[in-house]
Amino acid sequence: MKKLIYLILGVTLIVVCGASITSMSQVDGVILHSVQSYWVIAESENSAETQTDALGVTERTKKIVDALIKANANEEAYISVLRIPAKWNALRFRNIGITDGATATHQIYLGTLGGKLDCELSYAGQLAWTMGTQKSIYDQIAFTSGGTYEPQIDDTVTGNTSGETAVIVSIVESASTWSAGTAAGTITYRSASGAFTNSETISIKRANKVLASNAYTHAASDLIDFEFADTLVITDKAWSPSVGGTTAWASVSPADNTNAEGVIDVKGADFMVIVTTVSSVDSKLLVRGY
């Protein structure tokens, strides 16, 4: 089952293979104010699934990647693609996982569609993360479907037994379908108010309107906390040469066990492919543009 990854910004919505964005700055007199956007989940990986291979040199075009994802001969359905908004000149990356000391490795490919249907992809580099212990605002829980309503990103959930609340930020389906009431997988929340009750059903609201009273059932006893990676090792590839004395990649791995981060100048690229080749635990790659 192909996983579903939804990317949410504070000012707009980015959908896989499509994008729109409002202006990211405004002028007040002579002062320029940047409009900030949330960190978004660009890639979500379940360690129980087999990770795919990096793209070979004959596979690095958009149309070939689309065909690989559709065929899914070697778990390519888990490749993530993202249109980069025109206002994003650079990207920041962070990673979270559910276990201290676990690892995740992402291969990053960049290209420029420029409004066309196909483009070449350059192998920008590899991001190799090691999880730390700093807790993020994201949590994960397994679910089974108790109804046919398919939850949406930014829906607010409430436990029908515990009364605890949280906001949906991503959904990974691993079996069956919502329409049949048999979907199962994992859901990632942010800002959970507390512990949910084992096997309780969930009510869902959007804009204070109840959409479903028993949308699905939590299969786990409580949320699993995500923790930030505190170490990042970058292997530069095609995107690394210095331009005007500034390299395309930069990174930091804090010694105080806080969140590691990578930064890349996208150099006008508007299309990104992310291939996770290693994930020893459930993990997520976070990204924001500026």
Same-domain status, 109 and 161: no
Is 125 in the same domain as 235? yes
pLDDT mean over 162-167: 95
Calculate what percentage of the chain has a pLDDT beyond 90.
61
pLDDT of 207: 83
DSSP 64: H
Residue 154 lies in a domain: yes
**Total number of domains constituting the chain:** 2
CB 248 within 8 A of CB 122: no
- Asked whether residue 1 is domain-assigned, the answer is no
Show Cβ contacts of residue 65 under 8 Å, excluding neighbours closer than 6 positions: 55, 59, 79, 81, 121, 273
The domain that holds 185 is classified in CATH as: 2.40.30
What are the tokens at 141? Answer: 């829980």
Could you tell me which of 274, 283, 278, 289 has the C-alpha nearest to residue 132? Answer: 283
Alpha-carbon distance of 93 to 274, in angstroms, equals 12
Answer for the pair 169, 190: CB distance below 8 angstroms, yes or no: yes
Specify whether 44 is located in the same domain as 85.
Answer: yes
Give start and end residues of each alpha helix (H) in 129-286: none
Question: Among 175, 192, 225, which residue terminates a domain?
Answer: 225
Contacts of 119 (CB under 8 A, 6+ apart): 61, 62, 111, 112, 113, 271
Judgement on whether residues 188 and 95 belong to the same structural domain of the protein? no
How far does CA 82 lie from the centroid of its chain? 10
Does one domain contain both 252 and 109?
Answer: yes
pLDDT of residue 241: 60
The better pLDDT of the pair 74, 8 is held by: 74
- Cα–Cα nearest to 94, from 262, 272, 215: 262
Domain that holds residue 40: 7-135+226-289
Residues 131, 17, single domain; the answer is yes
Residue 20 has pLDDT above 60, yes or no: no
Q: pLDDT, tens digit, for every residue of 61-97?
A: 999 999 999 999 989 999 999 999 988 989 999 999 9
Is residue 122 located within the same domain as residue 232?
A: yes
- Of the chain, the percentage scoring pLDDT greater than 70 comes to 85
Note the pLDDT of residue 220.
85
Q: How high does pLDDT run on average in the chain? A: 86
- pLDDT over threshold 70, residue 34: no
Q: What angle do CA 44, 47, 52 make, to 5 degrees?
A: 75
Q: DSSP states of 68-104 as a string?
A: HHHH-TTSGGG-EEEEPPTT-SEEEEEEEESSTT-EE
> Who has greater pLDDT, 53 or 37?
53
Q: Which amino acid is at 187?
A: I
Q: Examine the fold and report which residue of 209, 225, 241 is the final residue of a domain before the chain moves on.
A: 225
Residues 263 and 214 in one domain: no
Domain-embedded: residue 121: yes
**Residues 122 and 146 occupy one common structural domain:** no
Q: How confident is the model at residue 175 (pLDDT cuts 50, 70, 90)?
A: confident
- Picking from 225, 240, 256, the residue at the C-terminal end of a domain is 225
- Same domain, yes or no, for 129 and 96? yes
Give yes or no: residues 154 and 211 share one domain: yes
Q: Is residue 2 part of a domain?
A: no
Here the tokens at position 176 are 């069956």
Residues 206 and 247 in one domain: no
pLDDT in tens, 201-251: 999 998 888 888 888 999 988 899 999 999 999 998 877 665 555 668 899
